[in-house]
A and B are shown apart, each in its own frame.
Chain A
Amino acid sequence: MGKKLLIHNEHVANIHTLEVYKQHGGYASVEKAIKTMTPEAIVEEVKKSGLRGRGGAGFPTGMKWSFLAKPEGVPRYLVCNADESEPGTFKDRYLMEKIPHALVEGMITSSFALGVHTAYIYIRGEYFYVSRILEKAIEEAYAAGLLGKNILGSDYSLDLYVQVGGGAYICGEETALLESLEGKRGNPRIKPPFPAIAGLYGCPTVVNNVETIAAVVPIVMMGGDEYAKIGIGRSTGTKLISASGHINKPGVYEIELGLPVEEFVYSEEYCGGIWKGKKMKACIPGGSSVPIIPAELLLKTAAGEPRLMTYESLSDGGFATGSMLGSGGFMVYDEDTSIPMNLYTLNRFYHHESCGQCSPCREGTGWMEKVAHRLAEGHGKPSDIDLLWDIQKRIEGNTICPLGDAAAWPVASAIRHFRQEFEALIPKKEVAH
């Protein structure tokens, strides 16, 4: 059994209540932080822990925190990104639904570390019922003196609000999220300036994923060095993986980073192997935005090394033979899966979710969807595969926010690894001339 730091109490009855959560050691990090530590010391522990953002990009959290500008007399904000709309990703929901106080505790401890007195949890509209759970937890925390004025009798005060989004994937991009939180249309901003300098209402802001913020709790409790001992190299700590697709045991698993991918897929402790005794064909290991790779390359790198569940190992080989850990949305496809149909589904998603600001993403995503559709349906043209390739290439890196890349990469990887499957779908008479 790997070590669990985030959801170890997932099956404790009534762990969603403050009372039971506290009985199991909850809110100790708030006590410890406010009563015995300085904000700087906490930031230092987070730096030492090697924690990297769990929202997808894997940016070192301690570094992000130390970039936060601290001009006199200007408020700063902490915003928790609970938009979780990346297809295949559902770990934040699980955490918030089961153990809402883990996030609330993380928000308080993190806000104290950042000198923040107003913090927000921005949650996607489809998680409305989860927002209710969070609001209940926050209410309990206020009543217990863990939020509000003079927390635990100290001179530190914090207000925490939940804001429900309208249900647009793009509002998970941090600057679009800030626009939406300000009550505007959720268009990503052009960077620089970065949120650490000018974020919410133009003030310095840290945006972190739910899981990142929850991980601050064990880091404060065990110390950054101890946390960094879990995992391998620059992939430290534990990670929540949303496992789905053609596996025997889909669900949310907390793993120690460094777990061999093969063990994750086939062991009874985790996915329990491929369903119906079938073979695995391919996998998207980090949420819909990362490249799809064939089973062989998922289990072993091109050099024949066993692939591990780490940021580095999953991206070994670059886009030619690797993928990414991303958000940990681990989607497994069995041998009967149509890759072209799968690609069409992804294309449709990105087309639907593009905000429309940049011409390559606005026009290109819709075009790719149409071409992928006709290919998947079996009436593509011989030139369509190269056309798809060319469109994705012209979107990638030429947009304001990474959604353009996220729309392009699945196309590139599907064609790179499964070109023959696309070719086989092109009507024969067309191939002839």
Chain B
Amino acid sequence: MPKVTIDGHTIQVPDGTTILQAARMIGPEVAPPTMCYYSKLKTSGGYCRTCIVKVTKGSDKDPRPMPKPVASCRTMVMDGMEVVNNTSPEIVDARKGVVEFLLINHPLDCPVCDQAGECHLQDLGYEHGLSSTRYDFERRTFERKDIGDKIQLHMNRCILCYRCVKTADQVTDGRSHGVMNRGDVAEISTYIEKAIDNDFSGNVIDVCPVGALTDKTFRFKSRVWFTKPVDAHRDCPKCSGKTTLWLKGEDVLRVTARKDQWGEVEEWICNECRFDKKKTKDWIIEGPRKIDHHSVISQNHYNKLANPHYKKLGK
């Protein structure tokens, strides 16, 4: 069992643990932010580079530091390893650079985006970003694509985290969803524009960290923060039936999977639960859902963040 020290906290972890997992075991104060890693998906991570940390000591056996920041989600812990994250000004600065990259082509259309208030990119920009952008060119745009009657794709907002691709690969049967083209014009696509249509496809909405994939049955019904999340369940033959309902009065505006402390789905849910069960009588309500401590929704930061020009982004 290797021992690792992250930002001064030492912890012993099972073999094969990544730096990110070890940091999460220590707690949110040392855990790096993640935009592409997803613990429920195999081979996720490594793309966005927001989770970078600095390895100041490789291991007891080979104490040399690693020359460059590493993606904590894809780097294994070695015995005696020492890592700095938030305590390293270099990492804090490098992360600002990554956030800037993620934002230069983002449309910042938060005021009309259904994800606003629960968007990981908003949180990331708020907590780790620069106060202004140095990008003064036109932002990239894509043509709108229809991917079926339940899911809306706004490619302009996509950060190419590959989570939805991996979800389609690993959670649904019969993948018809992937990445087309290359570089900064790469886009999420269902091959030959085929609608994603199978029992678990709706989960791509929940894994999407931004508003690129949203629930058409919820579109523009309400701002997230005007709805009341409650945990509920039903006897479902296809999935666990354990969900979060987003209520306004007696109406179920939206059904999602339950998400853990890191914003990740606890259990995948089926499309019937997600899209078709929109009445409170379909559900057994358990009680209010506790919303993650750092979420923009719970901290009322939205007004600052919603400025489409991001002039005042940051603290």
A residues apposed to B, CB below 8 Å = 168, 170, 185, 190, 351-360, 362-367, 370, 383, 387, 390, 394, 397-400
Asked whether A351 lies within 8 Å of B137 as measured between CB atoms, the reply is no
Cβ-neighbour of A358 out of B47, B67, B69, B94 (below 8 A): B47
Report if B101 contacts A (CB, 8 A).
yes
Q: Which 6 A-B pairs have the closest CB atoms?
A: A397-B68, A394-B97, A356-B186, A354-B183, A363-B101, A356-B183
**A to B CB contacts below 8 Å, 29 in the list:** A168-B182, A170-B182, A185-B178, A190-B46, A354-B182, A355-B182, A355-B186, A356-B179, A357-B47, A357-B162, A359-B50, A359-B98, A359-B159, A359-B160, A360-B101, A363-B184, A364-B101, A365-B183, A366-B105, A366-B140, A366-B183, A367-B135, A383-B134, A390-B97, A394-B101, A397-B69, A398-B52, A398-B94, A400-B47
B171 proximity list for chain A (CB < 8 A): none
Report if B150 contacts A (CB, 8 A).
no
- Distance between Cα atoms of A399 and B46 in the complex (Å): 8
- Distance between Cα atoms of A366 and B183 in the complex (Å): 9
Q: How far is the CB of B163 from chain A (nearest CB, A)?
A: 13
Report if B232 contacts A (CB, 8 A).
no
B residues apposed to A, CB below 8 Å = 46-50, 52, 67-69, 74, 94, 97-98, 100-102, 104-105, 134-135, 137, 140, 159-160, 162, 178-179, 181-186
Asked whether A355 lies within 8 Å of B101 as measured between CB atoms, the reply is no
A354 proximity list for chain B (CB < 8 A): 182-184
B68 proximity list for chain A (CB < 8 A): 397-398
A352 proximity list for chain B (CB < 8 A): 182-183
Q: How far is the CB of B257 from chain A (nearest CB, A)?
A: 26
Asked whether B160 lies within 8 Å of A398 as measured between CB atoms, the reply is no
B50 proximity list for chain A (CB < 8 A): 359
B100 proximity list for chain A (CB < 8 A): 394
Asked whether B182 lies within 8 Å of A360 as measured between CB atoms, the reply is no
Other 9 A-B pairs with CB < 8 A, given A356-B186, A394-B100, A394-B101 = A355-B182, A362-B183, A365-B183, A365-B184, A366-B140, A366-B184, A370-B137, A383-B134, A387-B134
Known pairs A351-B183, A356-B186; A362 contacts B97 (CB<8 A): no
Known pairs A190-B74, A357-B47, A357-B160; A185 contacts B183 (CB<8 A): no
Name the residue of chain A whose CB is nearest to the CB of B138. A370
Q: How far is the CB of A88 from chain B (nearest CB, A)?
A: 21
B184 proximity list for chain A (CB < 8 A): 351, 354, 356, 362-363, 365-366
Q: How far is the CB of A382 from chain B (nearest CB, A)?
A: 13
- Distance between Cα atoms of A383 and B181 in the complex (Å): 32
Residue with the highest number of chain A CB atoms closer than 10 Å, among B46, B68, B178: B46
- Distance between Cα atoms of A185 and B188 in the complex (Å): 13
- Distance between Cα atoms of A68 and B314 in the complex (Å): 50
Residue with the highest number of chain A CB atoms closer than 10 Å, among B74, B134, B182, B185: B182
- Distance between Cα atoms of A168 and B102 in the complex (Å): 24
- Distance between Cα atoms of A33 and B290 in the complex (Å): 70
